[in-house]
Amino acid sequence: MDSEVVHVPAEWRAQHPHGAHLTGMLEYRALYEESIRSPNTFWAKQARELLSFSHGFHTTHIGSLAKGNNAWFLGGELNASFCCVDRHAIADPDRVAIIHEPDDSCDASREITYGDLLGHVSRLAGCLRAQGVQKGDIVTIYMPMIPEAIFAMLACARIGAVHSVVFAGFSADALRDRIQDANSKVVITTDEGRRGGKAIPTKAVVDTAVRDCPCVSTVLTFKHTGGDVSWTAGRDMWCDEELKKYPSYISSEPMHSEDYLFLLYTSGSTGKPKGVLHSTAGYLLGAAMTGKYVFDIHPKDRFFCSGDIGWITGHTYTVYAPLVLGCTTVIFEGTPAYPSFTRYWEVISKHAATHFYTAPTALRLLKSKIKKRDVEEFNMSQLRVLGSVGEPIAPDTWKWFYNSMGDQKMTLTDTYWQTETGSHIVASLAGVTPMKPGCASLPCFGIDLAIIDPVSGEELKGNLVVGVLAIKQPWPSMARTIKGNHDRYMDTYFNVYKGYYFTGDGAYRDQDGYIWIRGRVDDVVNVSGHRISTSEIESSLLEHAETAIIGVPDELTGEAINAVVSLKTPVIPLGIEQELILHIRQSIAPFAAPKKVFIVKDLPKTRSGKIVRRILRKLLTGEKEFGDISTVRCSSPKNEKCQPLILRL
Ligand code: PRX
């Protein structure tokens, strides 16, 4: 697993147009040592260098992991929208901030300069204020990948409102729950979105969701496709007309370092999605610092991250890292497969992207479809850095990415992190770290990793150890709480191994100290890099059935969801499998829908009534050895010992 090392190609450094930020591994090691030994000095220096405080901080950090009460840069005041927009608009207003590539390659792309961005963000900020949005209020954003989505995020930040972006693939029910939880007065959307040649009815989904949200007084809609929408007078407003009323500059609200910048829902091991809250200064610093050192971003770069703004990757590396560092972010509304499988190559060459950051699930798809000759015509000469995120990247996919898109001339960084960590925590640094295909590699600055024995709870020191991955020192971009449920925050991350932040992932440290991520050890499934809890899906079916959701390996999506269902009705209705799949698509999202549904008579359970997933997983993956099943029962009246065949899969 850990034998192969790919060194950064010599020409990478020689041909670097700006000179890399770090000189090499010696500098990484020295800086890393300093960041662990004297974290406060290290972080204070980084914060002063990378962010602009309108009022300097007096205390770098207080709190501990054991208490879960960490706070950074106290006394400091700043504004994320100022850091991402104003300071670049002042220095170089004509520099391009955002390039938008539409779904359809025949439609024109758009460029927005930092000067223009300041106007767009200010006008929308003024409009939000006029709708009664105040500092600390949460605004929900349900939008496709268009520049206006970024205007919306930054407009919230400008007036001190907290944004809650909901992925525009979530159903109306899921959106409703998130709007209600956030108690949003204002929802921002578009008439429609467009993906893979299909219209996405964003406004219609919002209309359905807000029917049950009395908190919502305004729905602001950007015209995007021109598609028909229904209209509720008094509540709905077209942004395009409304925004003309507001000035192209309003000053940004000074925010305390610890004021929340955004709320983002993610799945945990229990049913209800959790609203993770991130702070202003700490989060922004994590984005800026990893952008600078992991991706080696420079102001003239064009950073193309294919992550949707509805997920943390989109927040940190489509929006905040590129903009806080003042480079150009390339955003893409479409899919890698439409109108052809060369779409990513087209976007990269058309916009001269210097970086391309994507997920293994897209790479697996492309790997199976693309031949070398299909992509030979594209000019990829500007491309310097490739990145992977969201799930383990298998060595063969890594190599394919490196060889076919990178032409063996680039540096490929596998970045491991989470919604809760805010920014990368384990990653090879572009142009610096010798790469191992399939390996996230080394800890980022300030991240003090520990591998813990899950049985004894003891830290496993040294190399060649396997266990669960934890962090033993606080870092600025860690999430501060779960909205409305600080106990869940403590129990999920800090009370599992006292004094450590628990990631929920298994990991192996090899003989060189490189970290290999082995996947979740809790009930979270990772489908195409989208995180979903098994119990969230199970509870959506509770009315109809008792269900065990199992993640099984899948060639295309990494993991696929299989549902093993024991119906509550005596008769099995025809087509019930499709009905259950549809139900999950509608109540959660299409990505959460099972690939396969198995109807069974009983689910195997322990004496205390817990479903024994271990057996189901083995059955579904074709393993023959079931281990000790002497205590496993089926829930049938006879309570007979469970034999796998009884499942009738
Ligand atoms: O299991 C790990 C996996 O994705 C989880 C975090 O999911 P989410 O919060 O949605 O954020 C995804 C984007 C950062 C982790 O607990 N994961 C993320 N990146 C990697 C990964 N697994 C292996 N290698 C990675 N590079």
Distance CA 434, CA 247 (A): 50
Whether 287 contacts 477, CB under 8 Å: yes
Is the ipTM here above 0.95? Answer: yes
- Closest CA relative to residue 434, chosen from 28, 1, 17: 28
Query: What angle is formed at CA 106 by the lines to CA 104 and CA 112, rounded to 5 degrees?
Result: 80
Whether residue 266 contacts residue 313, with contact meaning beta carbons closer than 8 Å, is answered with no
User: Is the shortest distance between the CB of 390 and ligand 1 below 6 Å?
Assistant: yes
In tens, the pLDDT along 45-102 reads 999 999 999 999 999 999 999 999 999 999 999 999 999 999 999 999 999 999 999 9
pTM here is 0.92
From atom 25 of ligand 1, which residue's Cα is the shortest distance away?
A: 416
List all residues 6 or more positions away from 643 whose beta carbon is below 8 Å from its beta carbon. Answer: none
**pLDDT given at position 467:** 95
Query: Which residue from 80, 79, 35 is spatially nearest to 60, judged by alpha carbons?
Result: 35
Any atom of ligand 1 within 6 Å of the Cβ of 389? yes
What does the pLDDT read at residue 150?
98
Q: What is the average per-residue pLDDT within 364-375?
A: 92
- The phi and psi torsions of 56 (rounded to 5 degrees) equal -65, 150
Q: Does 190 contact ligand 1 (Cβ within 6 A)? A: no
Provide the pLDDT for residue 640: 41
Q: Which atom of ligand 1 is nearest to the CA of 415?
A: 26
Answer whether 422 contacts ligand 1 (Cβ < 6 A): no
Task: Please state the rounded mean pLDDT for residues 383-392.
Answer: 95
CA distances from 410 to 17, 402, 638 (A): 13, 7, 63
> Measured in angstroms, how far is the CA atom of residue 337 from the centroid of ligand 1?
23
Ligand 1 and 273: CB distance under 6 A: no
Atom of ligand 1 nearest to the CA of 531: 10
Decide: 468 in ligand 1 pocket, CB within 6 A: no
For residue range 114-153, list pLDDT tens digits in order: 999 999 999 999 999 999 999 999 999 999 999 999 999 9
Mutation test residue for ligand 1: of 1, 416, 508, 536, the one with most atoms within 8 Å of CB? 416
Instruction: Write a three-state SS string for 182-224.
Output: HCCCEEEEECCEEECCEEECHHHHHHHHHCCCCCCCEEEEECC
Cα 476 to averaged position of ligand 1 atoms, centre (Å):
19
pLDDT at residue number 628 = 64
Q: Which candidate, 49, 163, 84, places its Cα nearest to that of 322?
A: 84
Per residue in 584-639, pLDDT (tens digit) is: 999 899 999 999 999 988 888 877 777 888 888 888 888 767 666 666 665 444 43
Do the strands 355-358 and 302-305 form a parallel or antiparallel pair, or are they unpaired? parallel
